[in-house]
Amino acid sequence: MAEVKKQNWFKRTWGKIAKYFRELRSELKKVVWPGPKQVLKNTGIVVGCVFAVGVFIWLFDFVAQIGIDALINLFH
């Protein structure tokens, strides 16, 4: 039986890195990139949601502050 010689560490590692980038390139060719209209629409949705959540947090904070102030004044 002949012994099978392992490749050195550098060749194995470089081979894995090269394989990763070949597969990455192959997968990126399959991506369907959105058009400008779709990007604009999605951006508008995100900005709208961020604004809505910000308003909700502001309102909750405002109501909570009024409640805490009322409790403090009640027991002060």
According to the model, what pLDDT value does residue 64 have?
A: 97
pTM: 0.59
What secondary structure does DSSP assign to 6-75, as a single string? PPPHHHHHHHHHHHHHHHHHHHHHH--PPPHHHHHHHHHHHHHHHHHHHHHHHHHHHHHHHHHHHHHHHH
| pLDDT number for residue 71 | 93
Tens of pLDDT, residue by residue over 30-63, are 999 999 999 999 999 999 999 999 999 999 999 9
Q: Does residue 3 carry a pLDDT above 80? A: no
Tell me, what's the pLDDT at 2?
57
User: Is residue 4 pLDDT above 80, yes or no?
Assistant: no
